[in-house]
Amino acid sequence: MNLRTPGPTPIPANVRKALSQQMIDHRGVEFSEMQPRITERLQTLFETRNDVLILTTSGTGALEAVIVNTLSPGDRVLAVSIGAFGQRFGRIAETYGAEVTWLEVEWGEAARPEDIGRTLDENPGVTAVLVTHNETSTGVTNPLREIASVVKSRDKLLLVDAVSSLGSLPCPIDEWDLDVVATGSQKGWMVPPGLAMVSMSERGWAASARSKMPRFYLDLSAAKRYLEQGQTPWTPAISLYFALDVALEGLIEEGTAAIHARHARAGDRVRARVKSMGLRLFPADERFASNTVTAIRIPEGVEVADFRKRAREKHGVILAGGQAKLAQTIFRIGHLGHIPDEELDAALDAVEATLETSESTPRVVGRST
Amino acid sequence: MNLRTPGPTPIPANVRKALSQQMIDHRGVEFSEMQPRITERLQTLFETRNDVLILTTSGTGALEAVIVNTLSPGDRVLAVSIGAFGQRFGRIAETYGAEVTWLEVEWGEAARPEDIGRTLDENPGVTAVLVTHNETSTGVTNPLREIASVVKSRDKLLLVDAVSSLGSLPCPIDEWDLDVVATGSQKGWMVPPGLAMVSMSERGWAASARSKMPRFYLDLSAAKRYLEQGQTPWTPAISLYFALDVALEGLIEEGTAAIHARHARAGDRVRARVKSMGLRLFPADERFASNTVTAIRIPEGVEVADFRKRAREKHGVILAGGQAKLAQTIFRIGHLGHIPDEELDAALDAVEATLETSESTPRVVGRST
């Protein structure tokens, strides 16, 4: 199968082999050597000297960790949402009692830094900003550098969902001054889901010291304390650490610039082909189209579930559907992590062939402008 | 290496192979077929018709899920603690604002059902009881059947940490009327850490409907809602599902009675040998000694860390140390999950050989009475 969801991503052979290693004692020598090595490599790829903590959860657990470790009930925060994951981030904050001011952007569009600046100026009580770097549900990448600049010039805490961007798209944490940043193993890291990685700045730790939201399993201070001994507070998902260790070795060798260039090329390749088929990209402005996932409007008359089913059954290609209100509107092609040209091309061939055999009204419904 | 920690446990070859399977779409056909199959097998092995939910967390996350899905801040609960994990369970409840009455039992002893009954009678405002079935830190198994009877006769909600017992020791959930019960993949299930399984009774769901503790990632209602479509609300640790699927197939074939008998034999075998060496079991009353982990007093003059290091380096045997206040007092041998006689014997041979070469005061310091 050619798995083209925006996470989980295909696992390279050497990483799959690492997954099947026999268990070790998570309080023993091997683990305590592996964990600092992984952490250091993550810091390199995150382009940060901040602490990086690893949690045994998937991405949503990481978003929850970001919230509960830095905020208190009643805190006023700004949630910038451009899609389903932006909504989720803000809803987690609401669940734990934060007072959320929403800046909801039309799905398919990126957030405008000036709108964020104005909203912050209009809501001086806001102390933290929640933002999604790459919105997996719409295939849009926010201009995070500019957003960070607007947020930090107003001296706010910046909490970033970088689940599907960090390690694939440029996101230099220190250069952009991002306080708390979360990603997940099943994205560009080429590891199965189950591990989340969170980077914490000094400002993040200061917020953590004041924060009163309840936390136990997701407590990043405990994670930091145990990391100093090469351990985790609770039993970690050891087989995923083995996988991450091997995957990071390859990524470090490749280097961040090459990794980002590889994803940029993949994004270009997929978008060019999609447009050449006469299909329309979902993002309103192609400059903000994501280089890790492409969201494509489904031609009128084509039923998404049936289209995906035929792509899978006839061509062995797994495409992602749309989420929430986009379920009947788009399909998505993931291109992060393991993205050889031939697999992307095969996926796009399958899209084309499947649409051609669709019992539908004419396939070409317009061109992206 | 002969891994003899009480979790993670050694992974059988067929389960290791399953771990290395290529990723699949967690919103796709294969996953939605696998998840109900796993759930049904868990229900069989849990001996319950209650809902069983799977979370991507380790055991501590499961304990937190049990608490936050059933309680509200200000709820009065009784935490029965006989060791480090009993303390942890109660501390999680305190973290989320429950008013905890502690029944702390001397480490090495089991809880007495009559003490629990009396404490409940003295504290009529208590609505829920937290209890550890098998206390991994002390090698003691609580008389859960009798405890459940005392708790249920007083009409309280019963929350059970069965992380290191369920699937290894008898714990028939429906017969004993246990409301909410948690276990973890890295124990008798012979799967790497990272998945937790929680069983919820109707009474548990009723409590959940009233519960006001904040929850998002660990929300069991969301897990139940998605299970109905063969999915999970958040991306699951897919490779661990593959492993669990294969491990459960073997366990179902073996059957609960045979599984429990296997662990009982392992416990007997380890304890008999330990005593024959003149070592003392840590549990005060051998009737409550655990059949999944044996805690052994370290002979006087033997330094635990050095002893464990030599067992590992010279004999390839990984023993567990003591936790918290028992760090210098005991060591532990895990015997749950994959427990062939020859591996247990080899571990015990290593214990004997390592103690014989210990530069210590006389090795035999007493016999357990």
User: What local confidence, expressed as pLDDT, does residue A359 receive?
Assistant: 57
Best mutation site among A21, A25, A68, A242 for testing chain B: the one with the most B CBs within 10 Å? A25
- In angstroms, what separates the C-alpha of A118 from chain B's closest C-alpha? 30
Q: What is the pLDDT of residue A361?
A: 47
Whole-prediction pTM value?
0.96
ipTM of the complex: 0.96
Class of domain A13-253: alpha beta
pLDDT at A357: 87
Nearest residue, CB atoms, B235 vs list A19, A29, A193: A193
In chain B, residues 13-72 whose CB comes closer than 8 Å to chain A: 16-17, 19-29, 56-61, 64
Pick the CATH number of A256-356 from 3.90.1150.10, 3.55.50.30, 3.40.50.300, 3.40.50.700: 3.90.1150.10
Mean pLDDT over residues B146-168, rounded?
98
Q: Is B327 on the interface with A (CB under 8 A)?
A: no
Q: SS3 of A318, please?
A: strand
Asked if A193 is an interface residue toward chain B (Cβ–Cβ < 8 A), one would say yes
Question: pLDDT grade, residue B359 (50/70/90)?
Answer: low
pLDDT attached to residue A33? 97
Contacts of B264 (CB under 8 A, 6+ apart): B291
Q: Where are the domains of chain A?
A: 13-253, 256-356
A336 touches chain B (CB under 8 A): no
- Whole-number mean pLDDT of chain B? 96
The CATH code that applies to domain B255-356 is 3.90.1150.10
> Per the CB < 8 Å rule, is A8 touching B29?
no
CB contact under 8 A, B96 and A214: yes
Instruction: Give pLDDT < 50 ranges for chain A.
Output: 361-369
Chain B CB contacts of A8 below 8 Å: 23-26, 235, 238
A184 touching B (Cβ < 8 Å): yes
Report pLDDT digits (tens) over B57-92.
999 999 999 999 999 999 999 999 999 999 999 999
Q: Give the separation between CA B122 and CA A127, rounded to whole angstroms.
A: 46
Q: Contact B60/A318, CB-based, under 8 Å?
A: no
What is residue A363's predicted lDDT score, i.e. its pLDDT? Answer: 46
Residue A222's nearest CA partner among A39, A59, A54 is A54
